[in-house]
Amino acid sequence: MAHAAGYALFDTAIGCCAIAWGERGITRCALPAASEEALRRHIAPGSAQAGEQPAPPAIAAAITRIVALLAGARDDLRDLVLELDDIPEFHHRVFAATREIAPGSIVTYGELARRLGTPGAARAVGQALGANPFPIVVPCHRIVAANGRLGGFSAPGGARTKRRMLQIEGAIAQGDLGFE
């Protein structure tokens, strides 16, 4: 796993999020957790040398864009540089294809598998996205189940967080995808 050079917490429309960075780019992102302490533990696991600190300019710019996206701006964040060290090749492919999904759009796990040239691999796509260390930047919240339901979401808040993010982007309205 890429080791973080530092990390920062920042407020968004959905709560306090976090980002960690290394020498070449973003190493992790995190959606709101139960507490800021839980968020700190999640964003820099096993990285005693990585401390909370002011973000360098490129990361500060990324934070500004993430905050804007979570407030309803249309920004696909595709150009943000991710450190993909120790990430399996299939996950690389899933993450790259997921980053092509524009804000306000959704696709199914099966459709994403077809786009990858691996029809029938919807479950493997879901597992890769479940291990996504870059939520928001790799917008796994834009992938839904074939039955029209939200499907799984491993971030804190689960399906509620996923639904909220999709509502902010205008991909779904209140009451869509089987939720009240």
> What is the rounded distance in angstroms from the CA atom of residue 20 to the CA atom of residue 16?
14
Q: Which of 16, 17, 29, 140 is catalytic?
A: 140
> What is the rounded distance in angstroms from the CA atom of residue 11 to the CA atom of residue 123?
33
Can 17 be counted among the known catalytic residues? no
HEC string of 84-115 equals CCCCCHHHHHHHHHHHCCCCCCCEEHHHHHHH
Contact 26, 109 (CB under 8 A): no
Query: Tokens 């991909």 appear where?
Result: 171
What are the residue numbers of the active site? 140
